[in-house]
Amino acid sequence: MKFSCVAAVALASAACGSGDGAHADPDLGVESSDTGALLAHADPEASGSCQLPDGPRTVHQMKGPLEDLQGDCVPTWTQEELNAGFTRIRDERMITLPENPGFERRIPWLAADNGCEERAQAASYYLTNWDYTTPYYARVLVKPNKRLILKTDNEPGGSVRWTHHVAPVVRVDGRLMILDPAVEPEKPLPIEEWLPRFSVAGEVDVALCRDHAIGDGCFAAAPVAPSPPQIGDKAAGLHLRLTAEWGVQEILGRDPHRVLGDCPPWVECEAEPTPDENRPPTIRHFRTDRLESEVFFPIYVIGDNFVEGVTTVRVTGNGVDEIALIDSSTMRSILLASWYDPGEYQVTAANGAHVSQPVVMKISEF
């Protein structure tokens, strides 16, 4: 029998990143009509030493150093279930957004900067629906004045900084195993190998939570039924994380249709064509970051067929007519080093005599 662990929460209360925003009420959730899902408090194969709390507990009541973790109540999976469940939760494309219904998406593992709560809850929901025993959540909290730092190729700066982190956890052959493709896309990690990827020993506490991946909650008074990811609101939940994932792929110079489709970084695919300096580049739009539709600074020119060291960008308008300084360049993304005042500009890119069509760039007030 499965127990359920996922609570539906508003995105405003969720930040697996550098912010320290207020948390929502940890007991917000969706009631399940399946009363059977609320009867089992733990994995039936858990050892007799499992002692669940006799009432609700906060993450702060349950947290402690890694060496003091009591994992007997964490659901037990076989090694085969672990391997298959990890691969499926990493690779399955089962989410469609209303604005792009023809393109199925995975859980946004390629947007590590923020959204670990949404990823963990979505993974728990889907694994439960696929008849896996619902995982617990391994929640990592930093001590005062400390930070978690993850080095990753999926961030323009090469690393992200968090105040906390969370991922699904199960027990396999007595070891706590973490399913977190945002940190390690190749395989599940034992918890003692997962933590050093982004934390320093002695600077964090860990809690094993059955019911809550977010806020102050850890154990509810009764198991919380899984609820589907929130994708209906563009400004909240998994929808916002999926939008951010698309944006960061563009900033990184990747083709989102490719990398969020059949060719994620952990899959070997046929190499893409190289840019051709004998053809003009194209400009599609501009970005400042992964979410903003308005442009201010920094300015990323998003397009195609940019050739590093060859492609130039010309900016005209609002009293400006110049070849912009370029900070960095990939085939699909150019980061400008120049600053421009608010206003409208025309931008072209050129590979020598091969010039793109002009595109209007509107710089907004910061």
Domain extents in the chain: 11-246, 273-363
Strands (DSSP E) contained in the chain are 57-58, 95-97, 100-105, 136-142, 148-151, 159-162, 164-172, 175-178, 189-190, 204-209, 217-219, 282-287, 299-304, 312-317, 320-323, 326-329, 333-336, 343-351, 354-355, 359-363
Q: Report the predicted TM-score, pTM, of the whole model to 2 decimal places.
A: 0.87
Share of the chain above pLDDT 70, in %: 87
Measured between alpha carbons, how far is residue 61 from residues 56, 57, 68, 205, 321 in Å?
10, 6, 13, 11, 61
Specify the range with the lowest mean pLDDT, choosing from 147-156, 186-195, 290-299: 290-299
Which residues have a Cβ under 8 Å from the Cβ of 169 and sit 6 or more positions away? Answer: 74, 135, 136, 137, 138, 176, 177, 178, 179, 191, 208
From 262, 271, 246, 249, select the one nearest 333 (Cα to Cα). Answer: 249
pLDDT over 50 (residue 132): yes
Kindly report the CATH number that applies to the domain delimited by 273-363.
2.60.40.10
Helix (H, G, I), strand (E, B) or coil at 200: coil
Q: How many CB atoms lie within 10 A of CB 14?
A: 28
Q: What pLDDT is attached to residue 266? A: 97
Q: What pLDDT is attached to residue 124? A: 97
- Token digits for 195? 């933590």
